[in-house]
Amino acid sequence: MANIRAYFSLAKAVFILMREGVVTALPEEGAPPPVRLAKSIARLVERRRTEHQPQSEKLSKALNRLGPSWVKLGQFLATRPDIVGSSIALDLELLQDQMEPFAVDKAKEMIEATLGEPVNNRFSSIGPAVAAASVAQVHRAVVQDKDGTRDVAIKVIRPGVRSRFARDLQTFYCAARAMQRHIPVAERLQPVLVVDMLATSAKLEMDLRLEAAAFSEMGENTAEDAGFRVPGVDWECTGRDCLTMDWVEGTKLSDVDALVAAGHDVPAIANALNQSFLRHVLRDGFFHADMHPGNLFVDDRSNIVAVDLGIAGRLGRSERRYLAEILYGFITRNYKRVAEVHFEAGYVPDHHDVDSFAQAIRAIGEPIHGLEADKVSMARLLTLLFEVTDLFDMKTQPQLLLLQKTMVVVEGVARKLDPKFNMFKSAEPVVAHHVQRLIGPIGKLEEARDGLHAVGRLIQLAPDMATRAERLSHEIDAMARNGVRLDAQSVEAIGKSEARHSRSGRVALWVIALSLLALAWNQIV
């Protein structure tokens, strides 16, 4: 029954996306037969466009109509132009996550249930929502404590969002498995793994204690950094469903005119934003992964203040080293080294030639170095890199998806602040410093320290590993002598399972087809 519901939900979503023109915007070249068929059907039911309503607005409306989970999926797919195409990825990047706010009384109920006491014990007042998104909304409030009163922001989880997301997740998995089964190119794109990542990311985002911990960690990492900070967390007023932090007074980074009027050095802020982000990635391996202008403020001291840390990214030490070397290779035009790093990291299969890959990397880097400062684009670099890595059988690296998306967003924000902004020039001092640190003497010492820790853990586990190896050896010997046997009950169960799987696949196709026909008929009538 759960599968049938998922197929109905998928059919409804496909129809809505067809109506809003999303399906017809999918890339035509190289599209498999199912996609070409879907595009043909979509042309029959697609709404007529108006010149005053861009595709991004239509897509935003469609996903908001489908619900919070679909908005999250859209934001996540903005990181995958290799799946949805660069045009749709750009539209998804512009997706406005704006939902109707729920009542302040309901928010107070959620806060009381989370903190286990009446809101009046902690807060002097709680105002109406100042922002409402798919997962949570934010209220301005006043905290009463022993030191007096202070303004805070309270983020409160949207009621029922977890159960709704759990239901919609089954639909996403149905679509991902169908892609992986029937579309050959999907094996490289790993759609099921993408849904796994979405599920993990959303579950983490829906526990506000984890966002509070992220703020705390980033606050410690950046305590000595000039030009960047995050709000402090009030742990006594924070729980699973509500997060209380300092209220941020400042100008939104999206309001360039207001920044100029307030006397801020706007080009310097653009440079500080880019360099701060790269520092978090390369130095800390922990970065804010949702740095759109609505989440960034500038205070009266020209510090950038980042809020909404529900989506954060992490990179391990080796990944940071590879990334630093790849970026530095592009900056210094050492394309052979960029290619070698891809092979050392295992990103490109060994059966390909390093020199041929270096030639392809050069084809990406040289045109960018020849451009004027205001035309040098990390977004263009990443788009070309997607195309080249496809030719060399490079599988998408899940751990780099959020990083790639955030780099593009940061560049876009910086360029709005300073149209002449050159991301490579801004990045060079930070990347060069961390390349030297990660692959120089200090880096080697840190790697040796990590290696000694690993050896120590291995020695501790050695007795248990020896016992397990001996038990496994005995079991393999027994299997070699007696063979692997299945009793009649097991054979019968396997047969029934296969039959059910076959029937469910046929039922799924009929459910989707009939649902689409019914939706189309209702629309026509």
Instruction: Tell me the two tokens of residue 376.
Output: 């040098």
| DSSP code, position 122 | T
Q: Identify which has the larger pLDDT, 2 or 78.
A: 78
Instruction: Tell me the two tokens of residue 349.
Output: 């299969």
Query: How many C-beta neighbours within 10 Å does residue 105 have?
Result: 8
| pTM, entire model | 0.72
Rounded percentage of the chain residues whose pLDDT exceeds 90: 28
Sheet-wide strand order for 148-157 = 123-132, 136-145, 148-157, 242-246
- Write out the CATH class of domain 99-162+203-247: alpha beta
Q: How much is the pLDDT for 523?
A: 47
- Cα 266 from Cα 257, distance rounded (Å): 10
Domain limits of the chain?
2-96+163-202, 99-162+203-247, 250-439
pLDDT in tens, 134-177: 889 999 999 987 777 899 999 999 998 888 888 888 888 888 88
pLDDT in tens, 381-437: 766 776 677 678 776 666 666 787 788 788 888 988 998 888 878 888 888 888 877
Q: Note whether 159 and 110 are within 8 A (CB).
A: yes
Tokens 């790639």 appear where?
404
Q: State yes or no: is 151 an active-site residue.
A: no
Query: How many C-beta neighbours within 10 Å does residue 319 have?
Result: 17
Instruction: Tell me the two tokens of residue 488.
Output: 């009649």
Considering 97, 290, 308, 418, which one is annotated as catalytic?
Answer: 290
pLDDT in tens, 170-180: 888 888 887 77
Contacts of 227 (CB under 8 A, 6+ apart): 269, 272, 276, 302, 303, 304
Q: Diameter of the chain by CA atoms?
A: 84
Average pLDDT over residues 222-238: 94
Mean pLDDT of the chain: 78
Q: How much is the pLDDT for 347?
A: 80
Q: How much is the pLDDT for 439?
A: 65
- Cα 95 from Cα 476, distance rounded (Å): 55
- CA contacts within 13 A on the Cβ side of 215: 23
Q: What is the DSSP string of 138-197?
A: EEEEEEEETTEEEEEEEEEEPTTHHHHHHHHHHHHHHHHHHHHHH-TTHHHH-HHHHHHH
Q: Note whether 276 and 304 are within 8 A (CB).
A: yes
